[in-house]
């Protein structure tokens, strides 16, 4: 495979304590990058970073807390020399019928999935620009097709897609913007759904269909190791048996 990427690049991954973020950390270290793992569960991050050895540092940071992200960026600069890749992966999917009972869920999804990604990007942007960086935004099939029961979640992922396309044009050619849109992936994502009937139905659906977090991580690692003359702008990855 041809690549003109510097193998000692540094990736910051939000939501690296489980699922796609954790798998991406492992895949990027296997590809030769060093990684900064960000999430709220510090114990999980420490365990993963411990396994990855010198190539990884763990930083407790909530993406809804800008001060925590600024402190994380300072550590990445000091300890790793700055970020070349930012993977905006932290997310929650709090599905359910639209109602006032779910209003806290809608706010949380917007604050984590959309504003969290926007804030992390504005905080790390100078580092990404310095030497040519990659911004990987984890969207979803729900960033392309909305359905009954996922309106709030789809709003955040459609938001990520629109924001990413604007940024792509604004940041080229210094920073490549790569949007990844997974279908059903087996992770902890559905554990946090607050509407019980929706949680059960979603877990049944995912159990039968899902691909692995490692499948998505390999795609991310492939995308960020392409030669800089090209960009995989938008990548939709569904289980083969997923209809929509
Ligand atoms: N699984 C799927 O089927 C699927 C499909 C399409 C898209 N996605 C997207 O993939 C991304 C990763 O999800 P996943 O499936 O890997 O689920 P997951 O295992 O639940 O991972 C979500 C990650 O986000 C972190 N997170 C949540 N709130 C956060 C906050 N306020 N600040 C910082 N980190 C936060 C969690 O860490 P802490 O709790 O430790 O903070 C966790 O590491 C999400 O953006 C999701 O929308 C998933």
Query: What is the distance between the alpha carbons of residues 54 and 96, in angstroms, rounded to a whole number?
Result: 42
Ligand 1 pocket, 92 CB below 6 A? yes
Task: Calculate mean pLDDT across residues 213-238.
Answer: 98
| The dihedral sign for the CA sequence 232, 52, 16, 82 | negative
**pLDDT digits 0-9 by tens, 194-203:** 999 999 999 9
Average pLDDT over residues 7-29: 96
Tell me which CATH code domain 10-237 carries.
3.40.50.720
10, 84 Cβ separation under 8 angstroms: yes
Is the distance from the beta carbon of residue 140 to the nearest atom of ligand 1 less than 6 Å? yes
H or E stretch at 134: strand 133-138
Percentage of the chain lying above the pLDDT 70 cut: 97
Whether pLDDT at 68 is above 50: yes
Distance 17 CA to ligand 1 centre (A): 9
Q: What number is the average pLDDT over the span 9-15?
A: 98
| The predicted structure's pLDDT at residue 238 | 98
Is the predicted pLDDT of residue 117 greater than 90, yes or no? yes
Q: From CA 10, how far away is CA 130, in angstroms rounded?
A: 12
CA–CA separation, 216 and 222 (whole Å):
10
Ligand 1 contact, 89 CB (< 6 A): yes
pLDDT of res. 6: 59
In the predicted structure, residue 161 carries a pLDDT above the cut 80: yes
The 3-class secondary structure across 9-45, one letter per residue, is: CEEEEECCCCHHHHHHHHHHHHCCCEEEEEECCHHHH
Confidence of residue 5 (pLDDT cuts 50, 70, 90): low
CB proximity list for 19: less than 8 A, separation 6 or greater: 185, 187, 188, 189, 213
> What residues are annotated to the active site?
153
The pLDDT value recorded for residue 8 is: 86
Residue 148 has, within 13 A of its CA and on its CB side, a CA count of 0
Mean of all residue pLDDT scores within the chain: 96
123 CA to middle of ligand 1, Å?
A: 20
pLDDT tens digit sequence for 129-141: 998 999 999 999 9
| Spans of all domains in the chain | 10-237
pTM of the model: 0.97
């Amino acid at each position: 495979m041809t690549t003109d990427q510097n193998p000692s690049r540094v990736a910051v991954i939000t939501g690296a304590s489980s699922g796609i973020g954790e798998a991406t950390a492992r895949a990027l270290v296997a590809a030769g990058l060093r990684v900064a793992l960000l999430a709220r569960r510090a114990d999980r991050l420490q365990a993963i970073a411990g396994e990855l050895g010198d190539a990884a540092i763990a930083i407790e940071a909530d993406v809804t807390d800008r001060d925590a992200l600024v402190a994380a960026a300072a550590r990445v600069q000091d300890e790793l020399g700055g970020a070349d890749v930012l993977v905006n992966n932290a997310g929650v999917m709090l599905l359910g019928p639209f109602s006032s009972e779910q209003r806290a869920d809608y706010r949380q999804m917007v604050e984590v999935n959309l504003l969290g990604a926007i804030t992390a990007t504005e905080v790390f942007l100078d580092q990404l620009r310095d030497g040519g960086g990659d911004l990987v935004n984890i969207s979803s099939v729900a960033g392309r097709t909305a359905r009954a029961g996922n309106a709030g979640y789809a709003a955040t992922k459609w938001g990520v897609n629109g924001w990413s396309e604007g940024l792509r044009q604004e940041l080229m050619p210094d920073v490549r913007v790569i949007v990844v849109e997974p279908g059903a992936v087996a992770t902890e994502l559905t554990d946090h759904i607050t509407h019980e009937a929706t949680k059960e139905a979603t877990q049944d659906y995912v159990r039968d269909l899902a691909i692995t977090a490692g499948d998505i991580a390999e795609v991310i690692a492939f995308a960020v190791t392409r030669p800089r003359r090209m960009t995989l702008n938008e990548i939709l990855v569904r289980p083969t048996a997923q209809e929509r």
